Amino acid sequence: MRKPDVQLIARARRGDIAACLEAGRKYLEGASGFPRHVTVGLEYLQRAESHRAAEVQRLIVESMNLYEIASHGRVPTLRQAAHAGRVSAQLKMAVWSSLAAADDADSSRWFRRAAEAGDDASVRVLAQSPEDQAVGTPVERLRALKELPCLGWAELVGLAMDRALMRRDAKLLFRALSLCVEDDGTPDPVLADKVFEALSYASSLPSETINIDRRSFEGLLEDCVSRGNGAAALMLGQALSGSDVGNLHWQALVPMQNFRKASALLMRAADSGHGEAWTRLYEIHSNHNGSVANPSMARFCLEKAAAAGVVSAQRRLGATILRASGTLREVEQGMHWLFLAAQTGDEHAYKLMRTFVLPVLGAEDDAARALIEIQRTSPVLAIRLRVARDFGLTKLEAMTVDLPTGMRPWGLVVGRNPFIRQARLSSPRAVPATSHSALEGLRGVVAQITAGGVRGASSQDFDLRHRALRIRQVLAAHGLEESMFFAKVRSRDLDVLRGGARWARSVKSALDDAMAHEAAQTLRG
């Protein structure tokens, strides 16, 4: 730095007003060997502002672009200069009002004042967008001015988006979005990130039409994806696959569907931890008419989504396994996933689970009182009656089921029945717990048995014939019907409850509901 400049700064630090103005000007303009430093320049101007406000206003308006003025909190200074008749300030106030106020009356007023004072840009803007033009007037006006160096366009639009997001102003947000996607060159990373943040917020708003160049959105989101943004990959993948993103219609984001590209993007999103991406991958790969149809891939994606905790995927996977099941192991797998979905309150999963539980008669309160009485004389029998009612077991199942080995985290497996000769009808079956009390009751019973047996039990209680005889005696003594505790069903109907194609046909309506997509999607390959 030259000696006169050092002396100038020294005088400014001592409070010389003229020196403060000159130092501030040189820092704002980056002139005469001074580096351009807006913050330092404003600090010097602030020292002189109370003495020579008009000159400070002029320097701020002429030496700083609109983004710098707004980001440093000097909009009030800009407004004062505009009211004082400074034309460049009036133009900048018109632009700022268009970005900061949903009502464009204030911006129109400033444009008119600047045009009347001879500002060529304002005259051109008003000529292109007459007062009676449609609602898009503010956007059209601003687009005509974006090349002006006095605005700092890219940073200014980003600031406008930040401000709209902070204030949760949807109208201003969409206006800023409309302005930020006009350039066809290389996307600016900072702007791309702001656009993604704005779109994420917009997706949570009530559905509104966004009239923006969708190709630009795609390019900006791709820039975010290239820098490792998994959420952006999810958003773009959903849109390209024809799935709405929250309340944003997919056509507001991309001009057309592209399932191959969507599949790659969704895989990126899933790999970065977005479990819902697996669900969408399942949907597009399971569409047999689509260009990326792949049943094996669809099943893999569904399993990944379920493992990631996506409730709809857990329900669909459980239903899929049960529909195609041919072994007890497969049925147990299906029950596991349905149970997880039902635990979160999924009604479709719960309805499917209910189809595996046979009904019993009588009020629950009456059954509870009867079991209390039976408990006093025959504790082992009371336990089996309780389990039989909770899980809808037949009388023979209730008498033969091995509770400790049959208990599962989701319910109960009734083992192979040795008293039925036909192998198909004596096969094991899985029965889910359809209430928390049923599952907790089963766990308590098993804990009691494994801890040393049921208090008050005799050796005869473990003999099947004794159990059957004892049941008849106890129920008769209390005036109770077997239908209060045991389900009655034909063997052929009981076989349906072992899963597979016959079960799927019997519950077709509930199964279709469980397999349905969360929102109707039209998939075209």
Helices (H) and strands (E) in the chain, counts: 30, 3
**Sign of the C-alpha dihedral, residues 454, 458, 462, 468?**
negative
Task: Answer whether 395's CB lies under 8 Å from 486's CB.
Answer: yes
pLDDT of amino acid 195: 84
Q: Which two tokens stand for residue 466?
A: 């004794």
For 413-436, write each residue's pLDDT tens digit. Answer: 998 877 666 666 678 999 999 999
Mean pLDDT score, 295-306: 95
Task: Answer whether 13's CB lies under 8 Å from 44's CB.
Answer: no
Mean pLDDT score, 167-182: 78
Please report how the helices 17-29 and 3-13 are oriented relative to each other, as an axis angle in degrees rounded to 10: 120
Residue 134: pLDDT band (50, 70, 90) is very low
The number of beta carbons lying within 10 Å of the beta carbon of residue 291 is 14
The 10 Å CB-count burial string (b at 16+, else e) for 463-485 is eeeebeebbeebbeeeebebebb
Q: Which two tokens stand for residue 14?
A: 């001592």
pLDDT of amino acid 285: 95
The full set of domain ranges for the chain reads 1-63, 70-157, 364-498
Which helix (H) or strand (E) covers residue 112, if one does? helix 105-116
- Residue 226 backbone dihedrals phi, psi, to 5 degrees: -65, -20
Residue 179: pLDDT band (50, 70, 90) is confident
The residues pairing with 248 across neighbouring beta strands, listed in sequence order, are: 245
Q: Which two tokens stand for residue 512?
A: 């279709």
CA dihedral 92, 94, 97, 103 (to 10 degrees): -170
For 180-208, write each residue's pLDDT tens digit. Answer: 765 555 677 888 888 898 888 888 877 65
Instruction: Give the ranges where 150-294 is alpha helix by DSSP (H).
Output: 153-167, 170-180, 189-202, 214-226, 230-240, 259-271, 275-285
Q: Of 270, 232, 237, 247, which is closest to residue 174 (Cα–Cα)?
A: 247
Mean pLDDT score, 29-51: 87
pLDDT of amino acid 73: 92
Mean pLDDT score, 36-62: 89
Min mean pLDDT across 55-59, 420-424, 494-498 is at 420-424
Residue with tokens 């304002």: 122
- pTM, two decimals, is 0.74
pLDDT of amino acid 523: 40
- Most confident region among 143-147, 171-175, 494-498 by mean pLDDT: 494-498
Mean pLDDT score, 21-31: 87
The number of beta carbons lying within 10 Å of the beta carbon of residue 17 is 16
**In whole angstroms, what is the distance from residue 429 CA to residue 520 CA?**
35
